[in-house]
Chain A
């Protein structure tokens, strides 16, 4: 393909999955206790999308990757210290809440506006990547809303593989029910792809890539426009962590045969 793809990855931060989350009520709606203090990671499915974008850009000459990220500026800066070490990209930061309780439509509006404002954007080369869901809102709504706002007609969800051809077309595998894949071919950009895990491992830290990315990160953070994202039209009545603790019976000092027998009885019951 001549001149490559313009690949824009949408991805924000979520609390580190090992953190304990406790919901609280704030004047803006539900939130998390000590939310600003919780260590964050790049949303896992978006991270896969970013790694796949970098891989595609490497394969298709002339391609470039942008990361559009909506979150509190200070937290984005912390996040970039790790993410920027992974793959080359240009950051477009949007300053706003990264809470899972924000409205997906408002988030999509902010993301779409940021994408359309990219200097030199050529929609005929545009591939928008993101996660198939976030680990915070977990709604699988934002990327479709971005797709519609950009006026793009081709959308793929739960993507695990993209294979680009020389003519600009690409083949996509999307997860569907029962461990199967839907296999489709798209004639070319523009398209929006919401990724599942893909097939690539997390790239190792590369200090050279980090140095190169960080040159653009600080100016991007300084230029970050505020986005007024909130809970939108949702009226939350209850936000809770239901009691899940079970009275666990720990079975020790029993032979493997006895364990097997007990499990078989349980399975047959």
Chain B
């Protein structure tokens, strides 16, 4: 089976997700080609010299430094056509999640995303992915080739192999007249960044923090101080329930540092952290679906019958912050 690992660089190096994809590709066997686009793609190829790939393809150039649908699809299409693979593996980064489903259309490939498991026996490949927001797990296959798979992070350890010097073939890309200009990345100030994907702990605050407390008063200022202090000391990533971030968009006073970006669950993210601590969140299914990949779960709640206590958390503490 001809396998293509399709990667992109980020700040001129391969991101962790790309190295995990290499591990997945190596686990399948077959004839491996590695294709990379973005800044310093050829240099990045050298770091995969020991991967066992038989061929390296790269696309470099000013147009491919920034994530942008029109240029990314052009680069990926050129690389796939040059490699002519049966199976294409790519990391499910925001850049590829945006571009590769469109690329599949251009190269006549089948495409499946959010792959969390993959096995191969000869040319037969089986994959696993969730449906209905991490509520139903499926195992399936396709006969048609090529088949493009966007692999979720964390299903394999990142590839760690020897660097060297490889001969990377530069693939030409037809010039793209893009109508989109990338202005840059908007990132919160380092001390204001509350979303930390690599943190060991996910701390989730629910709407309970903003309710009237036992004394009949709101304690939103105190809640902000407590949460931010905890995040700083625990070096945790901050998540939120939908109901809490919705308060902000409805104009109610709430935690100023919280946005929809922090939202975990049905319409939020499904992060991967070793541990998760939920506070003041009732733990109903729409919240809990975002916790599918949190290994150890604990919750603090004033209600002993909350959703977390119904088999969704390992430990539930009945308590109150105020």
Contact = CB atoms under 8 A, between A and B. Distances in A.
Given A234-B140, A248-B308, A187 B179 contact: yes
Contacts of A180: 185-188
A199 B249 contact: yes
A141 B113 contact: yes
Nearest to A242: B137
Nearest to B136: A23
B176 to A, nearest CB: 8
A14 B135 CA distance: 13
Contact of B312 (A141, A145, A199, A246): A246
Interface residues of B, number: 94
Interface string B145-167: 00000000000000000000000
A239 B110 contact: no
B256 interface: no
A221 B297 CA distance: 46
A180 B185 CA distance: 7
| Chain B interface main SS type | mixed
A249 B140 CA distance: 36
| Chain A interface main SS type | mixed
Contacts of A158: 94, 98
Contact of A233 (B101, B110, B114, B249): B110
B316 interface: yes
Interface string B248-279: 01110000000011110011100000010100
Interface stretch (A115-123, A169-177, A206-214): A169-177
Contacts of B112: 139
Contacts of A104: 101, 111
A266 B298 contact: yes
Interface string A19-33: 001010000001000
A219 B176 CA distance: 42
Contacts of B212: none
10 contacts: A17-B289, A30-B138, A101-B138, A141-B104, A148-B105, A153-B178, A175-B94, A184-B182, A199-B249, A244-B312
Interface of A: 14-15, 17-18, 21, 23, 30, 44-45, 48, 100-101, 104-105, 135-141, 144-145, 147-149, 153-158, 160, 171, 173-188, 196-201, 233-242, 244-254, 256, 259, 262-263, 266-267
Interface of B: 67-70, 93-95, 97-99, 101-102, 104-106, 110-114, 126, 130-144, 176, 178-188, 193-197, 200-201, 234, 245-246, 249-251, 260-263, 266-268, 275, 277, 284-286, 289, 292, 296-298, 300, 304, 308-321
